[in-house]
Amino acid sequence: MLRTQFEEDLLNLHNQFYEMGMSVSSAVHKSVRSYIEHDKHLAQEVIDNDNEINNMEVKLEKKSFEMIALQQPVTTDLRTIITIMKASSDLERMGDHAVSVAKSTIRLKGMPRILEVEQVISEMSDYVKKMVDNVLIAYVKTDEKDARMIAKMDERVNEYFKKIYKMTTDTMEQQSDTIISGTDYLNVASYLERIGDYVTNICEWIVYLASGKITELNSNRDEQF
């Protein structure tokens, strides 16, 4: 394989990864919007589009293995391919959590709502989507500094989750008719919190791509090995 062909394939991998990321960002946004607005048609759209996201990951992985086998890349090129493979797996899982939120929308059957909690879930969703969009830009720029900053944003996601948990459980204790919808709120907040964790994973892969070091972010140990 000629070097120019390899570089073209690598560029295509970059572009496909970014496209997959944008699809996941859209899925996250639509899934929570469908949940807050009780829009089952929009929720079904998220569920139906998940196959496309899964197929994107499969194509990226297949092409990555093919390039490693044929070109036997080393140093930066190899790190790039590994980063795309690992980060696309994280994106796929983020898409799965968006589907879980959408399925919660499908299950809604006119149960009593806690509007204050829904407002915080909406804010949490907007913040998580911002993290997803920012990490894609950091990936394109291979920006280690931005990746570390975005990983730090996950602390606020955890704060959102704690706030939703307290608001919801307090209301459930006082109003037993909100137990079913409250449990759903906790699940949705948990899905969003996990998406934030996967964004942090991608940040770690960006740091690896930029520095060659595997670094655990958002940990008291902040180990490098």
Predicted confidence (pLDDT) per residue in 59-83, tens digit:
999 999 999 998 888 888 999 999 9
Tokens read off for 78: 């190899």
Q: Which residue type sits at 83? A: T
Q: At what angle do helices 144-174 and 115-141 cross, to 10 degrees?
A: 170
Which DSSP symbol is given to 216? -
What pLDDT, on the 0 to 100 scale, is given for residue 196? Answer: 96
CA distances 190 to 20, 117, 156, 195, 203, Å, are 23, 13, 14, 9, 20
What's the rounded Cα separation, in Å, for the pair 101 and 158? 18
Q: pLDDT digit string (tens) for 123-161? A: 999 999 999 999 999 999 999 999 999 999 999 999 999
Q: Whose CA is closest to 27, among 95, 90, 89, 88?
A: 95
The values of phi and psi at residue 216, to 5°, are -90, 115
pLDDT at 4: 84
Q: By the 8 A CB rule, do 32 and 164 touch?
A: no
Per-block average pLDDT, block size 10, for the chain (225 residues)? Answer: 80 94 95 92 96 96 93 88 94 97 86 91 94 95 96 97 98 94 95 97 95 81 38
DSSP-assigned beta bridge partners for residue 224:
215
pLDDT at position 222 is: 41
* pTM of the model as a whole: 0.91
d(CA 120, CA 127): 11
3-class state of residue 224 by DSSP: strand
Q: What is the mean pLDDT of the chain?
A: 92
The answer to whether 132 and 200 have CB atoms below 8 angstroms apart is no
Tell me, what's the pLDDT at 2? 66
